[in-house]
């Protein structure tokens, strides 16, 4: 049995609503489509469809199989295109979006190196610290730091964003150094409007622990909070990639070393796998390789 064809028949039957309509879409006989479906059910050891003369519906096993079948067919399409895509030099323009801090620490440098490697390409970057609609903004690729992604979009994990709670020596001299995460509730904590506005989560010695935080300064851009932190305004939760050099120079002090702030995935997010351009595929592979080579992003 050609299992990929059998999966294609199964998906077509479900999407078109009947065995006859599915067979017609695939330009095969009804008998052949029925044979593929029967062999697929035998292979999986489960009935996938309830079929009567008037209607059909998915079984519980069929619901699960449908999701996996669609994913396998999408992967099959990518594999079929892979050889030809690898032979094509990337060309054209990519429109990207990213946060300010990630662009400063990673994206601009990576984009410049990619453009030098592939002179027939161009990159346009939209910097915003908010989630944008990829279709409305005509975005090819969004770099997003999040553990909660839109299920309607396709995401490829590129790396990991780790954070650190920090403050200046001057602030700590005036207000003291927190020894436990719960001590943060008594400090002026600078919060990010879109993430962790009132609750910071950690992995501590005894497991996950959250602490309510508040302060007199918040903002929608992490760079803004970093600037305020450097001016002794309070304590902030910063991506390690933004403050690594400041910590080394002693301009900031990392706090609460026994508690690891919740890490987040760094993802390349795009609208669909279908008709993925060689340019987008090439750039995603480039970003993945670049992050994999630097421990900062792992």
For 156-192, how does the pLDDT look when each residue is reduced to its tens digit (9 = 90+)?
A: 999 999 999 999 999 999 999 999 999 999 999 999 8
pLDDT at position 13, please? 84
pLDDT in tens, 42-91: 888 888 888 776 678 888 887 888 888 888 877 777 666 655 555 567 88
Phi, psi of 208 (to 5 degrees): -60, 140
**Span(s) in the chain for CATH 1.10.10.10:** 3-86
Architecture of the CATH domain 3-86: Orthogonal Bundle (1.10)
**CATH class as words, domain 163-261:** alpha beta
Entry pTM: 0.68
Is there a contact between 229 and 191 (Cβ–Cβ < 8 Å)?
no
Q: What is the pLDDT of residues 27-39, one digit of tens each?
A: 888 888 888 888 8
Sign (positive/negative) of CA torsion 123, 128, 134, 137?
negative
Strand 92-98 and strand 121-127: the pairing is parallel
What CATH number does domain 89-160+264-297 carry, 3.40.1690.10, 3.20.20.150, 2.40.50.140, 3.40.190.10? 3.40.190.10
Chain-centre distance for alpha carbon 298? 14
Q: Where in the chain is the domain with CATH 3.40.190.290?
A: 163-261
Give 77's contacts (C-beta < 8 A, 6+ positions apart): 273, 274
How far, in Å, CA of 189 to CA of 216, rounded? 8
């Amino acid at each position: 049995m050609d299992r990929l064809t059998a999966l294609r028949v199964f998906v077509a039957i479900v999407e078109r609503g009947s065995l006859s309509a599915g067979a017609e879409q695939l330009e095969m006989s009804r008998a052949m489509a029925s044979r593929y479906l029967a062999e697929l059910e035998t292979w999986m050891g489960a009935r996938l469809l309830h079929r009567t003369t008037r209607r059909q519906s998915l079984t519980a096993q069929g619901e699960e199989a449908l999701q996996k079948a669609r994913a396998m067919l999408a992967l099959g399409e990518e594999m079929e295109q892979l050889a030809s895509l690898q032979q094509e030099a990337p060309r054209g323009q990519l429109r990207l979006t990213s946060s300010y801090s990630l662009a400063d620490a990673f994206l601009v440098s990576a984009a410049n190196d990619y453009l030098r490697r592939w002179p027939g390409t161009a990159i346009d970057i939209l910097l915003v610290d908010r989630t944008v609609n990829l279709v409305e903004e005509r975005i090819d690729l969004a770099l997003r730091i999040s553990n909660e992604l839109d299920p309607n979009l396709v995401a490829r994990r590129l790396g990991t964003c780790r954070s650190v709670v920090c403050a200046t020596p001057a602030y700590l001299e005036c207000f003291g150094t927190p020894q436990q995460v719960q001590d943060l509730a008594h400090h002026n904590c600078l919060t990010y409007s879109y993430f962790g506005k009132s609750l910071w989560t950690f992995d501590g010695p005894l497991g996950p622990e959250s602490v309510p935080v508040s302060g007199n300064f918040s903002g929608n851009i992490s760079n803004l909070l970093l600037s305020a932190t450097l001016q002794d305004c309070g304590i902030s939760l910063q991506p390690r990639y933004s403050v690594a050099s400041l910590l080394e120079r002693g301009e900031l002090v990392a706090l609460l070393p026994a508690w690891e702030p919740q890490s987040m995935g760094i993802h390349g997010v795009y609208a669909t796998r279908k008709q993925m351009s060689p340019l987008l595929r090439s750039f995603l592979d480039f970003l993945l390789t670049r992050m994999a080579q630097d421990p900062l992003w792992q």
